[in-house]
Every structure is written in structure tokens, then in C-alpha cells.
Amino acid sequence: MRIVFATSEANPYIKSGGLADVLGSLPKALVQKGHECIVVLPKYQDMKLADTLEYVTNYDIWVGWRKCYCGVFKAEYDGVTYYFIDNEQYFRRPGLYGYDDDNERFAYFDFAVLELLSHIDIKPDILHLHDWQTAMIATLYKERYAYYEYYQGIKIVFTIHNIAYQGKCDPALLSDHFGLDNYLYYNGNCRNDGCFNMMKAAIYYSDIITTVSPTYAQEILTDSFGEGLQNILQMRRHDLYGILNGIDYETINPATDPEIVEHFDITNVDEKKVINKLALQKECGLPENKDVPLIGIVTRLTWQKGLDLIINRMEELMKRDVQVVILGAGDQKYEEPLKGIAAYHNQKLSLNLKYDFGLSCRIYAGCDMFLMPSLFEPCGLSQMMSLRYGTIPIVRETGGLKDSVEPYDEYKNTGDGFSFKNYNAHEMMDIIDYALKVYQDKEKWQGLVHRAMEAKLDWDKSADAYLKVFNSLLD
């Protein structure tokens, strides 16, 4: 089948978060299974590999009452065809998001994706949309484009990567940006909580809705996690599927990673991982000691990621025989207290307030444990990367963390990580203490590390699950 993915970011060209990782890996996995995959995304100023793009064509499109230029560029990577929508007014600026006119920018992109299908004749069997930036493609298709002969028969799949970001805006933009009648707002199709809600519209109009883990698919049906969309999701619950994301085992591989000091695999992890640990301790200014447990944290410093729990228990954690490396940046209310703790405990805590891909790889490779106590986590990729590198995750049982980490059972000698249920600092500290206790038994710990590296969290199984959903629509 032919699958067209519409997305605001995709590896290896542009990335701000996990969405880019998914759109860099899922199409590649589907191509390997014999399907044609096309990814459409904006041509940003900060794109990588820009010199590999090939000009295709240009034409004008209408965005509400605006007549806009639309240029098209093309590239191929790992068997996947990428098309880039070029408009310097909207996309020739630093970064991806955070501008006052983001709603207009992605309204333009939504029209551009639909027009692209007919202009270069790439009508898909499945049009796969991702998050609020492409959500209105579903509405535009069902309310306008589906009536044209060329567009008939396309099936729409919408994936929710994070329901907290919904594309909420003024109801007037429904007609101003999208040229659609206001009755779609007043009849509730595009209205939620007193505003125009793009994600609500996509949930209403799409043929299938997916999200990025089975547990998260159940969580967003509740008042606690639904972010106001739980009612419409309950209505569509029979069309809602949770499919766990994977990671690309070819690029995320401790046996070939150019960013780490010593390559290793499951056959020599017991001897080689400690070399990475000592190198990481030296790089981060911590005492070099192969026996002290080293805990890594790679995260955005935001409320979602469990920073309240971490800061609440950090002083207590510093009383243990342990070292901690933190990499990330974010809200000042979390950065400032961490700075104070790191200054006082500079022999135990290394705080790196930045984004550094190379250092993140060395943390995955060199640490013994990886702490990820998220308040909510649709899927999460960091825990999968830590498993791949033989670093044992300590997670809260939510979303994809629950689906990808099997809790350690000392009686059956099974599991590849540690987890706690409630969003509670004392529970988190208790499970960290338990992990530190197990760490002292080297035989048990080596078994954990080996099971972690044996965990199969690549895209093969997930790609099959997506194909099953796609085929259910076509059948």
C-alpha cells in the first residue's frame, strides 16, 4: 500500500522531540515490509541535509482568503521519499514552534499537504496525520477534498503523541484560516471547552485514532489524563488503538555508537560497560569509582517529567552511596533548586543544564540506572534507549513506561527494570533504595543487564500493528 505521513518534524532532517524519532523510524520499518512510504513536512530554516534536497515544482494555494506560494522539494533516505513544503514567510525562521502565528503556519501546511497529493499525483491508500499541527487535514479532507473524484477513497489515521498539546485557538480562525463554515464550530465538531480545538476535530473526523502506547490509550479515556477530550475519545473508543513506539536498533546501538568511549554488546557488556562508566565520571567531574552506583537522568526539566519528585527526594538520595548525572534544560523553577543541590554535593551530583546528544549517549552507555519518574508519559523513548545500552530503568508505571519496562521479580528472577505505581516521592525513593540493594548482588544485577539488552523494542512488532490497523480500513 502507499502511506503518506504528514508531520511537522522527522529525523534525520529536523527534530525537537520524540515525534521526529517516530517519523524517522516507522516509515523506514514499513518500507522494509514492502510498502511505499512518503513523508511530507515543512522546509524549515534549520534543516539538516538541506543540500541533498531536489527542487520539484511550485504552485499557489489558498489558505482561507490568502493566496500563498507553495514550493516542493524532494529527498530520499533509507528507502523513504520525503517531500518538503517551502514557504519562506512561514518557515524561514529559527526553530520549529513557539511563534504567535503557529496556527496560521500549520493551517497553510495542512492545505499544502492535501494540494500536494494531486499536484504531483501521490494519492495514498492511507493518509497518516500526527498531532495538532496536521490535525485539521482530517477536517479539510472530509468537509471539502473528499468530494473531488481524485481524492475519494483515502483513509485517514490520526496519531496522538501528546494530548496535552491540542491546537486550541479562537473560533474565528475556523473560517479565517481554513475557509470552513462556522457551523462546524457551533455543532461541536471542532469545539471543545469554549474554543476551536484542532485535535478534537481530528478525533471526530479521522477513520482511526491511534496513540503511542496501549496504556496511554486507556489513560486518555479518563478525566485525569484526557485533558478535556476524554468524552469525544469515549465516543470513538472502538476506533482507538494504542501501539507502542519502538526505537531504531540500527542507529541506537552500543556496538557501533560513535559517541561512546567503548563499544560493547551483550557478549562483553560485563567488562566493557564499566569503561564507559569511568569515562563518564571523569567527563562529568565525579570521582572515578566503578563500584558506586551511577544514576542517569536525561530529560526536559518540566512538571511532566517528575522533576517535583526528583527535587523533593534529591537531598535524601545524596545521603546514599550513589552518584547522579543530570542532563537537560527547562523551567527555571526546577533549574534553580538543582543548581543549589549540585553546588553543595558536587562530588555526587553532576548537573548539565543543556541539550547534548553526545553526552546523552554516554549517559545511556555509562550509567548503571536511569531514573524516569514521569507524571505522565505517552510513550517515552529514553527508557528504551537505556535498556538498549544495558542501563536499568527506574520508572513510574504510566503510559509507555509501564508497557516497555518489565518490573524486576527477585523470586522468579525476571524483569529488566524497576517501577512504582503512584506519583509519590516516598514510593520513588523506596524503589530507588530497592534498586540500590539489588545492585550490591552482582550476579542478580548482571542478569538484569543482560535481560535489558535482550529486550526487543525495535519497530518490527509496532510496524506490524500499524499495518493491521491500516489493512482493517482498506478491507
Cα 160 from Cα 150, distance rounded (Å):
28
The DSSP H or E segment spanning 38 is strand 36-42
C-alpha cell belonging to residue 36:
511505499
Classify 110 as helix, strand or coil.
helix
Helices marked H in 345-381 — which ranges?
A: 357-366
User: Is 15 known as a binding-site position?
Assistant: yes
Contact by Cβ (8 Å): 247, 384: yes
What Cα–Cα distance (Å) separates residue 238 from each residue in 125, 201, 215, 218, 221? 21, 17, 15, 12, 12
Q: Which residues contact 304 (CB under 8 A, 6 or more apart)?
A: 164, 374, 375, 376, 377
Q: How many residues does the chain have?
A: 475
User: Cα 287 vs. chain centroid, distance in angstroms?
Assistant: 34
* Closest C-alpha to 282, from 327, 323, 338, 342: 323
What residues form DSSP beta bridges with 211? 160, 242
* Closest C-alpha to 382, from 300, 437, 456: 300
* Closest C-alpha to 31, from 334, 357, 350, 463: 463
* Closest C-alpha to 6, from 98, 122, 93: 122
**DSSP string for residues in 212-263:** S-HHHHHHTTSTTTSTT-HHHHHHTGGGEEE------TTTS-TTT-TTSSS-
Helices marked H in 13-125 — which ranges?
A: 18-32, 88-91, 102-119
Contact by Cβ (8 Å): 145, 137: no
C-alpha cell belonging to residue 429:
525513593
Q: Based on the number of CB atoms within 10 Å of its own CB, is 357 exposed (0-12), middle (13-18) or buried (19 or more)? A: exposed
Q: For residue 218, report the phi and psi dihedrals to the nearest 5 degrees.
A: -80, -35
Query: Residues within the annotated binding site?
Result: 15
Query: Residues within the annotated binding site for ADP-alpha-D-glucose?
Result: 15
